[in-house]
């Protein structure tokens, strides 16, 4: 068993990375930063300037803002100033009412908000909010993590690029435990159950989101469509059908802007859903024990956290790839797979999904989630059959951790030009 001190550090890291969120995390991050700057100002701002990294802009442009029926950053910023509370973290807008929504719309109509790309910053997750009222001014900065406030003076000193690089540009925070897959597996398998049972909250949040989606019309209604007679004729009434339906449904409701919280992973609600719902549905229909479900959920979520340590919070690589690798590990374990089989499922995933681009948060993310989950199931099944993509094929290496770092180096480094092209296409069409 892993020593208690190390277990405690890993548990603290999971608590930091697996948290409730309402709506897409990028606009909520901007709303959170706005709320903090407004609190510092001490009154409602007359003007708000938002300076954002390209990846924040990309992920926040086309997604619904919960409870508003509106898309994108202006309403998120306005409401962050009007009703936001920084103590709520990524649930910053949960006090929204119809009257405050109208106030937010008026704030936008009066042209009080300016949104620009921060040009002199290399950090991919960067939000700087400057609020003014009369001769009063206050600012706040989030960088390196969706709820990570950093020293404003350091960031506004005119040396933002160097300052950010030295403090947060390393994908893994200095508060994190450097992980590898063996440590992830051993932690999930051997830690006393009472220390990790909190991960069941992810099931409570994310399966509830899937159920709520079936009661209304959200996004592209992909989850509901999979449950309809035409789809049943294609997919059948199978575990596979149920897994992709429950996962896509939760994404539908989140991307559709419903005021329904989900449990996120590494700053992404969709990653939290993708790391949770496939594992929960499989465990229920396979009649796994509660202990097996808890350990599978921890394995899934911690695998995603591990991969994001070297990939970074935001990248050109779709986060569903990362979370689907986690869920494939969890499902392989629930199928009775050992560490060797789990390594095989990871390699099988990397052989297939590497290169799926992130072109922002939007309703069609549910389509990408189903692609990831489908591959997760296929990879687990192949692993249980003793089949594994070999090191002679593509970017897969004999060493599973090297395979993971091959994936993340492509997503974090080689796809930077891709990221620029994606944003250019999105902002000029």
- Identify the sign of the CA torsion 116, 122, 128, 134: negative
**In the beta sheet, which residues pair with residue 129?**
50, 140
Q: Which DSSP state fits 265?
A: B
One-character DSSP codes across 21-61: EES-HHHHHHHHHHHHHHHHHTS--SEEEEEE-HHHHHHHS
Q: What angle do CA 294, 296, 302 make, to 5 degrees?
A: 100
Query: Taking a C-beta distance cutoff of 8 angstroms, is the pair 147, 33 a contact?
Result: no
CA distance 420 to 58: 10
Q: What local confidence, expressed as pLDDT, does residue 250 receive?
A: 94
Nearest Cα to 189, choosing from 379, 377, 330, 383? 330
Q: What local confidence, expressed as pLDDT, does residue 175 receive?
A: 65
CA distance 21 to 8: 24
Higher pLDDT, 417 or 330: 330
Q: Which DSSP state fits 363?
A: T
CA distance 264 to 262: 6
13-17, 120-124, 349-353, range with the lowest pLDDT: 120-124
Query: Taking a C-beta distance cutoff of 8 angstroms, is the pair 402, 304 a contact?
Result: no
CA distance 156 to 128: 9
Write down the pTM of the prediction. 0.87
Q: What local confidence, expressed as pLDDT, does residue 151 receive?
A: 59
Q: What is the pLDDT of residues 124-170, one digit of tens each?
A: 899 999 999 999 999 999 998 898 998 554 444 333 443 444 344 44
**Region class of 335: left (phi > 0), else alpha (psi between -120 and 50), else beta:** alpha
Mean pLDDT of the chain: 90
Please state, in angstroms and as integers, the Cα–Cα distance from residue 368 to each residue in 116, 214, 349, following that order. 29, 19, 14
Q: Find the Cα–Cα–Cα–Cα dihedral 44, 48, 54, 59, rounded to 10°.
A: 40
* Structure confidence at residue 427 as a pLDDT band (50, 70, 90): confident
CA distance 23 to 92: 10
CA distance 267 to 265: 5
Q: What angle do CA 104, 105, 110 make, to 5 degrees?
A: 100
Q: Which DSSP state fits 169?
A: -
Q: Which DSSP state fits 197?
A: G
Q: What is the pLDDT of residues 289-342, one digit of tens each?
A: 999 999 999 999 999 999 999 998 888 899 899 999 999 999 999 999 999 999
């Amino acid at each position: 068993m892993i020593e208690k001190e190390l277990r405690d550090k890993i548990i603290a890291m999971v608590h930091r990375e697996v948290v409730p969120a309402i709506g897409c995390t990028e606009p909520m991050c901007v709303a959170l930063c706005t709320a903090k700057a407004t609190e510092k100002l001490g009154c409602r701002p007359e003007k708000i300037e938002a300076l954002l990294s390209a990846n924040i802009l990309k992920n926040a442009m086309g997604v619904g803002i919960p409870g508003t029926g509106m898309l994108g950053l202006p309403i998120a910023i306005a409401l962050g100033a009007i009703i936001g509370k920084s103590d709520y973290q990524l649930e910053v807008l949960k006090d929204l009412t119809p009257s405050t929504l109208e106030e937010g719309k008026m704030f936008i109509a009066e042209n009080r908000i300016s949104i620009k790309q921060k040009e002199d910053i290399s950090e991919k997750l960067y939000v700087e909010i400057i609020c003014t009222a009369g001769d009063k001014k206050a600012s706040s900065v989030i960088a390196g993590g969706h709820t990570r406030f950093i020293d404003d003076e350091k960031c506004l000193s005119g040396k933002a690029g160097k300052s950010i690089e030295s403090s947060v540009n390393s994908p893994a925070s200095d508060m994190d435990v450097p992980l590898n897959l063996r440590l992830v597996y051993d932690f999930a398998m051997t830690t006393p159950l009472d220390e990790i049972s909190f991960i069941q909250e992810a099931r409570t949040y994310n399966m509830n989101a899937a159920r709520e989606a079936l009661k209304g019309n959200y996004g592209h209604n992909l989850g509901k469509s999979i449950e309809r007679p035409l789809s049943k004729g294609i997919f059948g009434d199978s575990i596979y059908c149920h897994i992709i339906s429950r996962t896509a449904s939760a994404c539908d409701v989140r991307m559709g802007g419903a005021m329904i919280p989900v449990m996120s992973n590494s700053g992404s609600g969709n990653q939290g859903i993708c790391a949770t719902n496939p594992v929960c549905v499989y465990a229920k229909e396979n009649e796994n024990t509660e202990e097996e479900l808890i350990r599978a959920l921890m394995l899934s979520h911690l695998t995603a956290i591990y991969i994001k340590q070297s990939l970074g919070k935001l990248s050109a690589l779709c986060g569903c790839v990362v979370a689907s690798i986690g869920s494939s590990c969890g499902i392989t374990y629930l199928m009775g797979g050992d560490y060797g089989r789990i390594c095989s499922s990871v390699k099988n995933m990397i052989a297939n999904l590497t290169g799926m681009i992130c072109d922002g948060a939007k309703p069609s993310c549910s389509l990408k989630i189903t692609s990831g989950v489908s591959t997760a199931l296929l990879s687990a099944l192949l692993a249980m059959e003793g089949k594994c993509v070999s090191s002679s094929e593509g970017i897969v290496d004999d060493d599973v951790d090297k395979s993971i770092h091959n994936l993340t180096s492509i997503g974090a480094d080689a796809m930077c030009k891709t990221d620029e092209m994606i944003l250019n296409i999105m902002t000029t069409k």
